[in-house]
Each structure stands twice: as C-alpha cells, then as structure tokens.
Amino acid sequence: MSGDGTHVVHAGLPEPVPGQPFLPGPVFAAPYHLDPDAGPGLNGYGRPDNPTRRGLEAAVGSLEGGQVRAFASGQAAITALLLSVLRSGDTVVLPSDGYFPVRAFAEGTLRDLGVSTILAPTAGPRPALDGVRLVLIETPANPGLDVCDVRETADAAHAAGALLAVDNTTATPLGQRPLELGADLVVASGTKALTGHSDVLLGYVATNDDQLLDKITTWRTQTGGIPGAFDCWLAHRSLATLDLRLGRQTANAAAIAAMLRDRSDVTGVRWPGLPDDPSYEICARQMRRIPGVLSFDLGGADRVARFLKASALVFAATSFGGLHTSADRRAQWGDDTAEGFVRLSCGIEDTEDLIADLTVALDRS
C-alpha cells in the first residue's frame, strides 16, 4: 500500500488522459441527456447520480476502506444512518459525551418514532447491549476527547446482535480505519479536518455491507440530502493535502498540550497523545495518528473571552480541523461542559508562533 501522502494525492482521480485536468471540474447537471433506446444509464438525474460526487466517494472510500455515500453535511449523514437502520421499537446506544445535536435528535425525532435511546460515556462503562439494534460511538469524542476501544466494542455489539457505527470525524480515516477494526458503519463530518479549509459543509457514511449501503443509498435518493457538485469538487481537491495538514496540526497539538499542562492557571488539559492522558493506551493500539484537537479549562466564560481577545492567532469559531487555529467555548452552544471549557483546534501555523501567542494571551487573561 502507498503511504498516506501518496494515497490522498491520487485518491479517486481518473486515469490520465492527454489534454484533460488531473481532477475534472464539477459537473453541474440536474437532468442529463438520455439514450432514447436504452433509457437512463449511470447518469440520469442529478439527485441520485453525479460523476463529481462519485469521484469524491471513490476517494474517501479508498481512505476508509469501504463504499461511501456523501451527504450535504455531517448531521445529514448521521441522520440518514440512524433513520435508515432504526425502526419503531428499536434501541440505540449513543455517546453521552459526543456531538450534542445527535443526542438532541434522539431525544426528539427518534423518540417520537418509537426508538429508545441509551446514553453511555465514551470511556465506559458500557451498558448491557441485549436487545440493542445499533451502537454508535464517537472516538475520540467531541468535545471531551475520550476514546473507546473500537474492536472490543464491535465484538460486544456483534455478540448481542447489534450493529456498530463509529463517528470518525475527529480522527479522520488517516487517524483510524474503524471498518478494519470491526465496525459495520462509519459516519463523519467532512466539514472538519477531512476537507480542512473551512469552506465546505459535507458528510459521509461508509460501509462494506451491501444491504446497509442499499438502505442508505435509497434513503439519500428519496430524501435528497445530497451535497452540491462544487462542494464535492472542493472536498476532493482538499483531500490531497490531508496528510500534510494533519502532520502539522498534530505537531502543534503536542507542543501546545505540553505547554498548557505546565501552567498552573490552566486545568483539565486533554490530548490523547500525552502519555499520561487517560486515553493514551487505547489510542496507541488503534490509532495511526492523534488529531490536532485538544481541550482545557480556563475557569469561566469571562476568562475564555479575555483569552480569545488577547490572542492574535486563535480565531473564536465553532467547528474544528481547519487551517487556522480556532477555539470554541462549547457551553455557549448548549453542550454539557463547564463554562470555562475550551476546545482548541490547531491549525497549520508555525508551532513557535502559536506557543508564543498562546502564552501571551493566557498571561493577559
């Protein structure tokens, strides 16, 4: 197998044709010309069929090790997964410390449809899985960065007759490949580090189970939650630098986590790459690289605001995984976190510049 850098540069590209671009431009089409005799072929109508989208899906699928269906956002992807797999009377296990809108969706729409939800912390203990239809884990969890053993959870889920889905948003497929660890499905927001330029909303579901893939494809076709052609093209273009971006982000996170841990005015520093982090051992077993996201607590909302105003390099923004270092006080969005809890997403700036800027901002706050 080629290295990560080579893989992402060439993933999903067509065979070279003289006079044609490396990555063909986006196909903007609703209807296509049809064969009057044979009728619809591969491209008939833009909702189920688009060659630009198929190119992106082939690229991401080669990274995840499965077949992929792209969606308009990560939330659209996870909604499609849940509603195409679950039926009235089913039970789903969701992370109590994962992405908040998923829990809100479960407590509203899924409950109204007769689906029961069990919430469990990513780091455990794991609840009994008897009678459970689907287990969804997010590892590393967003925003707390706890980690779950994917292979162990897959074995437990399958022994109970349940499916396992893994939210791979934070790790990306270069960080871990859940399908190889026994997961039935992978779901992710491509808005974050996968595309990494903070200019695309995207989600996807990956699986090697043809029946599950058919259900998800049918759901997408019938509900229409597709990404636009230009978004797919931008996402595919951005994949080529994924290895380089993640390398710098991880290096920045390692340096910043070490600096923060040594400060007496910062508490609760979490980064799974720290040898004393509670998630370190599991990460060392199942992850190929640690993401450039860390978290810490500044004691209160006022100090977080002062910190962000004092920083010249850290943008106050939600989402994560972009080129620019950003920080988000998650409590302002309704997350069950402390008022001073900060999720910091490391960009690709020079490490020395970030350390200097953060040090000044913390000192002034």
Residues 332, 249: one domain?
yes
Q: Is the pLDDT of residue 175 over 90?
A: yes
User: What are 208's two structure tokens?
Assistant: 């090697």
pTM, two decimal places: 0.95
The boundaries of the domain holding residue 108 are 4-239
What are the DSSP calls for 309-352, one per residue? HH-SS-EE-SS--SSS-EEEEGGGGT-SS-TTEEEEE--SS-HH
Lowest mean pLDDT among 34-48, 94-108, 310-324: 34-48
**Which of 208, 239, 270 is at the close of a domain?**
239
Tell me the pLDDT band of 39, cut-offs 50, 70 and 90: confident
- 230 and 347 together in one domain: no
pLDDT band of 153, cuts 50, 70, 90: very high
- The residue out of 221, 239, 257 marking a domain boundary is 239
Confidence of residue 41 (pLDDT cuts 50, 70, 90): confident
234 and 248 in a single domain? The answer is no
Single-letter amino acid code for the residue at 210 = D
- Give the Cα-Cα-Cα angle 272, 275, 277 (nearest 5 degrees): 45
The last residue of a domain, from among 239, 255, 275 = 239
Verify that 295 and 221 share a domain, yes or no.
no
Give the residue ranges of DSSP H helices in the chain: 4-10, 51-64, 74-85, 100-105, 111-112, 150-159, 210-223, 229-239, 242-261, 280-286, 301-310, 351-364
Residue 254 has pLDDT above 80, yes or no: yes
% pLDDT > 70, the chain: 100
The residue written with tokens 């923060």 in the block is 260
Instruction: Please state whether beta strands 163-167 and 134-138 pair in parallel, antiparallel, or not at all (unpaired).
Output: parallel
